[in-house]
Amino acid sequence: MAANRGVLFDVDGTLVDTTYLHAVAWWEAMRQHDHDVPMAEIHRAIGMGSDKLLDHLLGDERDQDQDERLNTAHEILYGAWWERLRPLPGAADLLHAVADHGLAVVLASSAQAPELKKLRAVIGADDVIAAATSSADAEQSKPAPDILQAALDQSGVDPAQAVFVGDAVWDVQAAAKLNIPCIGLTCGGTSAAELTDAGAVATYDDPAALLAALDDSAIAKLF
């Protein structure tokens, strides 16, 4: 495998069907702390790290002393779903196909380490994953590019020979800061139009749809 060529994958909402579970967990966590935020607004912020998400939804004028309690509440509420998490259609098959073409498969996740371990088990493609990041690997979360840079550093992938696959506008924005083309998947609940407007080079419904079109996709340029 040519280690300098590879595909970086977001995980939540891209490979595992978690976006709406995160939205519900954040909604309930905020309700518990007297913040009444519409769920649609929360959904649009999923993909940011918790620090940026709270800034985005509650503003920097909020009582930031509550942040740790909000994060803990979210983690507990979301954790209740761990045993029922499901991969999105074609997730493992897509990762295997990318690896079969001689490309490094890299997970660019900002999940905490225990959660990442669970997500990897749900995907079921550890045999082809060359590297994977967690929240500990980046100072700032998306849309900052730190987690993508960490993924590049860990895997040895050249950003000029990389493609990123994500499901949120924050993924597209983070990739743009490193001049990495981003393919958008709509299975996280963000529309193709929104992803395209943010700068995605192409959009597909889910990993299975990208796999079906792999030879005509931006990833094929790396073969």
pLDDT of residue 2: 44
- 172: which 2 tokens? 């597209």
Domains of the chain, first to last: 6-17+86-222 (3.40.50.1000), 19-83 (1.10.150)
> For the stretch 107-128, what's the b/e string if a residue is b when 16 or more beta carbons lie within 10 angstroms of its beta carbon?
bbbbbeeebbeebbebbebeeb
Mean pLDDT per 10-residue segment, the chain (223 residues): 82 98 98 96 92 91 91 96 97 98 96 95 98 93 94 97 98 98 98 98 98 98 96
pTM comes to: 0.95
pLDDT of residue 3: 56
Q: From CA 146, how far away is CA 144, in angstroms rounded?
A: 6
- 17: which 2 tokens? 């069907």
pLDDT of residue 1: 41
pLDDT of residue 203: 98
- Asked whether the bond before 143 is cis by omega within 30 degrees of 0, the reply is yes
Contact criterion met (CB below 8 Å) for 57 and 22: no
Task: Count the helices and strands in the chain (H runs, E runs).
Answer: 10, 6
